[in-house]
Structure formats: C-alpha cells, structure tokens
Chains A and B, each alone.
Chain A
Amino acid sequence: MATLKLEEIRKSFGSIEVIKGVDLDVDEGELIVFVGPSGCGKSTLLRIIAGLEDTTSGTIWIDSEACNDKAPKERGIAMVFQSYALYPHKTVYQNMAFSLKLSRRPKQEIDERIREAARILQMEHLLQRRPHQLSGGQRQRVAIGRAIVRHPKVFLFDEPLSNLDAALRVSMRREIARLHTELGSTMIYVTHDQIEAMTLADRIVVLDGGEVKQVGTPMELYHHPANIFVAGFIGSPRMNFINGRVETMAEGRLSVETRVFGRLNVGLVGSVTVSTGDQVTIGLRPEDCEIVDADALPLTVSLVERLGDETLLEVTSTSGEVLVVKAPPIREYRPGETVGLMPRPGALHVFDESGRAFARAKAQVG
C-alpha cells in the first residue's frame, strides 16, 4: 500500500506533447480510474508511472520518494496489460514465479505466494498449463495473478478487460472490485469504458488531449461535471446538449431561452459571470426528463430502442435538434408519434461558451 503523487507531468514524443502537465494525488488504498477517449494519453501516463516511459518534465512520487530515475522494478509497481502479455513458453506457475525468481526469493516463499494468488483468483487447477491452453478470461486472471504475487505498492491496470466479451467483462470487473477490497492496495486502472470507471473507481480522472479535465468521485462527476467534456463523457446514453441564450439573470437563477423547450429556469449557486444575450449550452441527461403529452413545442419520435427495463427514445424537435431520452417501458412508443418533454426540476446543467459548467446546487437526486 502506498501513496502516489504526480507533479506537473509532461511528456512529448518528438515535438508532439501528449501529456500536458498532469497533477494528481492518490491516497493509500485508493482505486483511481483514468478514463478518456482513445489517444488522450491514458496509457502513456500509466507507463510513465510504471517507469516504462520517461517524463519530459515533472516528478513522480511513490510513498513520497521521487521515482523519476528508478527502473520499473525498483518502483514497487505491478502492471497488467491489455494484451495480457503472458510469457508464452512458460507455464502459468512459471509466469507468476518469474519476477520472484529474479528478485531471488526463496523457493518456499515463491511457492506460497503463487498458491495464495491462485487461491484468491480461483485458478489453482490452471497452474501447470501454458497460456495458449487458457481462455481469455483465464489468461487475464493469470496476468492479474502475476501482479499479485509481487505484493506491489501500486497496481497498474491498462484496459485489462477490453479483450473480453461483455459477460466476462462484467464478472471480471466485479472480481477486480473484490480484489481491491481484499488486498486494500492502491490501484490505477485505465479504461475508456465509462461504466467500468463508474463502477470501480473511488475517484475518476477524466483525461482529454493529455490534460486532466476533472478529478472526482463517480457521483461528483455525474452530478457536477466541471465542463461539457466530462458531462458528455460520463453517463450513458450521453447527456443531451441544447443551445440557449441568456434572457435574464437574478440571484441564483438564470433564465435561458431555447428553441426546444422555450424558456428554461435554472437554479445556480455562486456568482455567475454572464450577461443577457450570451450564448450558453444547456445539458440534460436522458434520465432527467419526463415524457408528457405533446404540447406547444412538440417533438417527434425518430427512433425507439427497447432495452427491456427501459426504452430509449430519440426525439427530434421542430427546429431540428435531436435528443435522447429514457422512457419507462410501460408505454409503447412508435417512430413518428409526437411527444412533449419536461426536464425534471433542478436537473439542468448550464455551460458557458468556453464549455465550463456553472456550479449547480448540491444534493441533487439522492
């Protein structure tokens, strides 16, 4: 168990800067998830922590020890790769023993640690197999086992589940959550899957273009995204964005004129720096509006996706804007029919022209 601190980390490949000054404090035993779109620098940042990649500038602290000049093996980290990266010619046992042998642990201890890891991961019966004799899920287990036996200070996972099928992903995700509780270790987990991020993380770090867009607990990110990027990235289906124009402002209240909903009133906290006539973006999650009978501003259902427990409707406004909303499954909707939408009070997000969110009142839906 250890703390991890990143200070002003920058990384360039040639003239292209891919990590643009990342700061992060990770507490002991925390499970931190890096999410972001493909190419945003998640793997690069993880590899920098692992010591597989140099930094261009900045400092990495593990347990308040600067690690920049330390080799991966001296950092007390273990890493699980997306491709499993098992040694193909070694048995499962030998795969897990490799690092311990290299650090000259006694045979007895090596054996004990491997048996322990195998027990935790329920793969005692696989120890004598070779990687090509294992299923994808089993290989992933071995890769995790190989990390566990080292008793690392920090576990690093780079998209460990993305090669697995959907069902296995869910069960392995739970497995990793269980592992985190059982071992209590500090973990950094990279994924581009926001559901994995939401379900696993103590805190999520949202990255985009090599910058941290927001750090927070899953619920903070969900209810109080700091900007349009995070708002759009967290939550599924993604948040709807509607253009609007500021009509009036009063203490803690903003009145915005939109083409879809007409005038909307939004409750805000803190001081707001907009003036009448400014363009803003309204964010509305698909689960945050109620479907009512068509009213003065009707919307046409253009697509119906039935998921069983709920139905997703894609609706188009008369002004051509497309929104996705969640509807209860009790009523059947058909493409072409018209409906009305009512945003739930207090559910609206407002972003200024640069994409920054206006602070919302805390204590949204429980």
Chain B
Amino acid sequence: MTSAVFRGRQRTGDVLILLAIIGIAVAAAFPLVWMVLSSLKTPAESMQTPPVWIPATPNLAAYGEVADVIDARRSFLNSFIIATTTTAGILVTSLMAGYAFAKYRFRGRDALFAIMIATMFLPPIVTLIPLYRLVTSLGLGASLFGVIAPHLANAFGIFLMRQFVAGVPDDLIDAARVDGASELRIVFSVVAPAVVPAIAALALFAFVYHWNTYLWPLTVLQGSTDDYPIVLSLGRLLSYNRGAVNTGLVMAGATLAVLPPLVLFVFLQRFFVDSIVSAGVKG
C-alpha cells in the first residue's frame, strides 16, 4: 500500500469517526441543552406546541421559585454530605482493600476476591429490601447516616484499586518498609500518589453515582423530607401544584442539581481521561 493511498483512506476514516462522534455528542447533549433552555422560559412558553426553542425573554424567575417550593439549600447540603462522605469512604476503603488484595499473600485471598467481585453483579434492587431491614434494625432508618453507611465500601472501587495498585512496583513498597513506614503510611504516602489517576476516576464515579442515587435514599428516608437530597426534592417539584407540571420550575431545579457533578468533572477531567487511557494500555 503506498503511503498516499494509506493517508487518503486514513483521512476518510477520520472524517467518518469525527461525524460519528459529533452525532453522539449532539444526541447526548440535547436533553441537557433542552433542560437549561426550558428553565429560562416563561411558563406559557414551556406549554406551547410546537415547542419554543429559544425563550424570547430568558429569565431566571423559575430559579427563584425553586427555593419557594423546596428547601433547596438544605437539599443541596444533604446531597453534598451524602456524596462527599460516601466518596471519601469509598476512596479510603478501596485503596486499603485494593492494596491488600494486590500486595499481600494470604490464604483465601483469591476466593475472597472472587466472592467480592460476584457482588458487583447483583442488581441493586435485589439487595434493597434486605439492606433496608438491616439499616433500620441498626436504628439508622430515616437518617443521612443510614443513607451513607452501607455504601462506604464497594466492590467496584476495590476491584479498580486492586488493578492499579498491582502495577505499583513491589520494590517501592519494600523500600518504604525499610525506610520505616507503617502499612497505613505506605498506602497513603507511597501507593496513593502512584495511582492518582485511578483515585480521580473513582472519586468522580462515586460522587456522581451517589449524588444522583434515588431509590436508596427514598427507601431509607421514608418521607423524612428534611433529609432529602436534591434528587429526591426534584421529585417533589414535579408533584407540586397537584400534578399540573410546571416544566420551567422542574428544569430549573434539575439544572441546579446537575451543576456540582459537572464542576467536579471539569476539575477532575484531566486525571479521568488519563486513567482511562492508561487503563487501556495496561489492560
């Protein structure tokens, strides 16, 4: 194959891939854009058919209204508490357990790991009721801690960390042992800095997942609306006004709810993209 032909083919291929990417990006962004635009419309504009695309007089009235209907500040705070504590818990437990699975030789290690992995394939709905019974019987029902506690460790996080920590050279860990570092110190001062991309990726996954989680807090909190995270409170916006949906209001609430994970993504994106690429290389 001459290089000219090859380059020509490559260029056609590039264009096709680019078109596909653009198509997917547009499809993915469409609902988000629609959401933001709708939040800026007047109630009349929201109801119109055919739909109005660009609001004639964009206004933030709906955002003010959100705060009238729900205690938005409280809901955001609840969401923050749930997402950050859970994420922090997952990072710490995943790093420690991942280190143990990757670097310790102990009896039953592989069997234990396999069992743990198997839990990843249980649909959450299967464990919902047993977990709920467990949490309430521990007296944690209808509290934020009840929402958080069962998710402070998770199999995927441990799996991810084990894969990455396995790539940290044994000599590095032995050097730290000779230098007098305790095992905990090794995990956090030597191993963690070596797997920063994985930590960033896991932090993002965990934060977004637990920011958006709906079913579990709904089950545990049992109508204790003061403890509702923003995602549950959005549901209340929906049912506000006896079923006559105020689209602008709901969209304003949704736009607000999307912001924190988005900001976090922008902040962690560099690491995140990095880790997915290197994970691909390391296999």
Contacts and interface: CB of A to CB of B under 8 A. Distances in A.
A82 B194 CA distance: 19
Interface stretch (B51-59, B63-71, B179-187): B179-187
B175 A85 contact: yes
Interface in B146-204: 169, 171-172, 174-181, 185, 190, 193-194
18 contacts: A51-B177, A72-B177, A73-B177, A73-B178, A73-B179, A77-B178, A81-B171, A81-B175, A85-B169, A85-B175, A86-B175, A88-B194, A89-B193, A98-B179, A98-B181, A99-B179, A102-B179, A150-B179
Q: Which DSSP category, helix, strand, loop or mixed, fits chain B's interface?
A: helix
A78 interface: yes
Contacts of B174: 47, 50, 52, 79, 81, 85
Contacts of B180: 72-73, 99, 102-103
A50 B175 CA distance: 10
Nearest to B179: A99
Contacts, number: 55
Contacts of B185: 102
Sorted nearest first, the 7 A-B pairs with minimum C-beta distance are A73-B180, A99-B179, A85-B171, A85-B175, A89-B193, A102-B180, A81-B171
Contacts of B190: 87
Interface string A160-190: 0000000000000000000000000000000
A200 to B, nearest CB: 21
Interface in A49-103: 50-52, 71-73, 77-79, 81-83, 85-89, 98-99, 102-103
A89 B178 contact: no
Interface in A138-174: 146, 150
Nearest to A84: B171
A77 B179 CA distance: 9
Given A86-B175, A88-B193, 7 more contacts: A72-B178, A85-B174, A87-B175, A87-B190, A98-B176, A102-B185, A146-B179
B263 to A, nearest CB: 26
Contacts of B177: 51-52, 71-73
A31 B42 CA distance: 86
Interface residues of A, number: 24
A114 to B, nearest CB: 14
Nearest to A83: B171
Given A73-B179, A88-B194, A103-B180, A82 B172 contact: no
A99 B169 CA distance: 19
Contacts of A89: 193-194
Contacts of B176: 87, 98
A72 B181 CA distance: 10
A86 B171 CA distance: 9
**Which of A71, A73, A86, A146 has the largest count of B CB atoms less than 10 A from its CB?**
A73
Contacts of B194: 88-89
A83 B175 CA distance: 10
Given A85-B169, A85-B171, A79 B178 contact: yes
Contacts of A103: 180
Nearest to B173: A85
Contact of B175 (A51, A71, A77, A79): A79
A85 B169 CA distance: 8
A81 B178 CA distance: 11
Contacts of A83: 169, 171
A85 B175 CA distance: 6
